[in-house]
Structure formats: C-alpha cells, structure tokens
Amino acid sequence: MTNRLIRPVEIYLNTPPPDPDTPRPVRDSQVTFADLAEPQSQNVAGTLFGGVLLGFIDRAAAFCAMKHAGRPVVTKSFDEVEFNEPIYIGELVIAHASVNFTGQTSMEIGVKVFAQNPITGVERHTNTCYATFVALDDKGRPARVPGIIPETADEKRRNEAGRQRREERLNRSRKRTRG
C-alpha cells in the first residue's frame, strides 16, 4: 500500500457521472441525515446554535445534490432560512433532503428539518429551506446535471414551486447586475 494522500474529491472523480440527458427519479437521490444536538453546539439560550444547524442542512443538501448529479457540487445559495422552533440539546436533529428542481448545471434541494425526542420518538418540524448547488466537472467548472422525474403529487408540486423560486432568484440576480 502506498502512502499517497488522497484528496476527498478523487473518490467522486473516479466514477463516471450519469448521462445528463437522462432524467432521474427524485427518490433515487433523497437523503436523510440525523445527528444528536450536543452540549458543545449550544448557543447562549441553551439550544442548538443556528450556524451548526445551517452546516448540518448544507451537508445533507450537498449529499443529495451529489447523489443526483453524480459529481462534486458546491453551494451556490440558500433561500430564506427561518428558525421556527428551537432544537434542544439532547434531541435528535433529522434533515430530509430532496431535489426539487434542476437547471442546466444547478439543482434546488429542499430540506425539511425535524427535532425528535430520542426517548419518546415525538418529532417537531423546526425548519424548511431551499439550497441551490452547482455540479462541477473534473476541472472545477459547472457541469450539466440530469433533470428529475417527479413521480408523486408532492414531488410535482415541489418541482413547480422550485421552478418559480428559480425564476425569482434569476430576476433578483438580473436586478443586482443592472445596478
């Protein structure tokens, strides 16, 4: 065995990506992450620090985007994030991530977050947010991604809402570049 350092992205670069002209079912890339809200991650109010939760959401969404694109991805943006319910230390934090919409090189990932009492199993919905990711080729440039096949009524609704949010994001971007 050689003592060669391996860059983390090399594991992705050695696997051919899916054909970007062949849409993929949403279910094929859905991801669920879970982690314990621990004391070292608490804020001054004694609940989970918002920045820790954002990092958790970003990782769940990134893995969902990587599964769909079959390539490394980078975070482009987060839409509005509201912390609607506190997550208490000792609760299980669960993030469900799913591709809502795809463009040519980008994907909107919806993430729904729950806090669960690990003893009773009772869950509370704490957050929902949307993150946009861009797939990268082996030179670090944007790469085409497959479309999605929304199969359920909920997936179809999320796809249409994602399309509308993308248009709103593009309009905001155009306004910023015009001054």
CATH code of 51's domain: 3.10.129.10
- Residue 62's domain spans which residues? 15-178
Q: How many domains does the chain have?
A: 1
Closest CA relative to residue 135, chosen from 113, 111, 171, 109: 109
Instruction: Please report whether residue 141 resides in a domain.
Output: yes
| Residue 6, pLDDT above cutoff 50 | no
The β-bridge partners of 9 are none
Instruction: Please report whether residue 164 resides in a domain.
Output: yes
pLDDT in tens, 25-66: 999 999 999 999 999 999 999 999 999 999 999 999 999 999
Closest CA relative to residue 69, chosen from 111, 112, 102, 33: 102
Instruction: Please report whether residue 30 resides in a domain.
Output: yes
Instruction: Please report whether residue 104 resides in a domain.
Output: yes
Instruction: Please report whether residue 55 resides in a domain.
Output: yes
Instruction: Please report whether residue 2 resides in a domain.
Output: no
pLDDT in tens, 110-119: 999 999 999 9
Closest CA relative to residue 60, chosen from 102, 30, 25: 30
Specify the pTM.
0.89
Question: In 23-122, which ranges are E strands?
Answer: 24-25, 31-36, 73-78, 92-102, 106-116
pLDDT range class, residue 80, cuts 50, 70, 90: confident
For residue 105, what pLDDT is reported? Answer: 97
